[in-house]
Chains A and B, each alone.
Chain A
């Protein structure tokens, strides 16, 4: 397994955690919160699709970009919910609950790993003989 492969595999695993936390919260407390519940569900569905996309070489790079977008979107939404006065869709997250901490850590790891994979894939493409011609 190359270092590039390790990056997307670990990125897929952290994206799985991101999705799993959101689905778990959807099935639990957050499932009845207007708008937020649907967004959590979409996060879970999106994460599942991105993981499958990462496995397929043809879609790997676009799936990696999707994974970065998913995690960045979740982090930005959480920041709004935590620091904006009205939160996001009237939902605020003032305290760092355990699922929130797990979500933040997995999202940060996902962004770092998938960004590193995209950068590595781009470097690989640039240095390949076909790119030079």
Chain B
């Protein structure tokens, strides 16, 4: 392989850098497709009055609130998201842009599963006691 022009050497260097960066990034990012589902369905519900939406995830994914309590969904991603209960239609935040939030009041006890309408692999759950 002979690369004699300076621009060619620069491009080879940049191309190689892009490949190295891609490979180095792999261990730092979970490419586990089941991660979100397992965190949303497994384990106990975390008491909280806020659900942060960041990195295409709800945090905490499984939240517990008392009957009549308010729960705020805050989108910190640059992508648009929703938190929508499509099973029972109990709540829907509507589209949340970056930095936008929506507060929902839960008046009836029960377990409400919700998703992002734009990214249906994003799953969360609210347990109202």
Contact surface of A with B, Cβ cutoff 8 Å: 9, 12-13, 16, 19-20, 23, 26-35, 37-38, 41, 44-45, 47-52, 54-56, 86-87, 90-95, 97-99
Given A94-B80, A95-B79; A45-B11 close (CB under 8 Å): no
Q: Do B55 and A19 touch (CB < 8 A)?
A: no
Known contacts A33-B121, A52-B11, then 9 further A-B pairs from the complex at CB < 8 Å, ordered by chain A residue: A12-B11, A29-B56, A31-B55, A32-B55, A45-B23, A48-B17, A49-B19, A90-B121, A95-B79
- Against A, the Cβ 8 Å flags (1 = close, 0 = not) of B67-94 are 0000000000111100000000000000
A10 to B18, CA, bound (A): 17
Q: Do B7 and A56 touch (CB < 8 A)?
A: no
CB proximity of B49 to chain A, nearest CB, Å: 24
Given A9-B11, A26-B25, A32-B55; A47-B79 close (CB under 8 Å): no
CB contact between A55 and one of B3, B26, B31 (< 8 Å): that residue: B3
Dominant SS at the A interface? helix
Q: Mind listing 8 A-B residue pairs with CB under 8 Å?
A: A9-B11, A16-B14, A31-B30, A31-B31, A32-B29, A32-B55, A90-B121, A97-B79
Q: Do A27 and B16 touch (CB < 8 A)?
A: no
Q: Do B79 and A41 touch (CB < 8 A)?
A: no
- A27 contacts which chain B residues (CB < 8 A)? 25, 28-29
Given A26-B25, A51-B11; A33-B18 close (CB under 8 Å): no
A39 to B120, CA, bound (A): 18
With both beta carbons as reference points, the residue of chain A lying nearest to B23 in the complex is identified as A45
A94 to B78, CA, bound (A): 11
Q: Do A93 and B15 touch (CB < 8 A)?
A: no
A54 to B3, CA, bound (A): 11
- B121 contacts which chain A residues (CB < 8 A)? 33-34, 90-91
Query: Is B8 interfacial (CB 8 A cutoff)?
Result: yes
- B56 contacts which chain A residues (CB < 8 A)? 29-30, 32-33
Which residues 22-68 of B have a CB within 8 angstroms of A? 22-23, 25-26, 28-31, 33, 35-36, 55-57
Given A16-B15, A51-B15; A45-B22 close (CB under 8 Å): yes
- A41 contacts which chain B residues (CB < 8 A)? 22, 25-26, 31
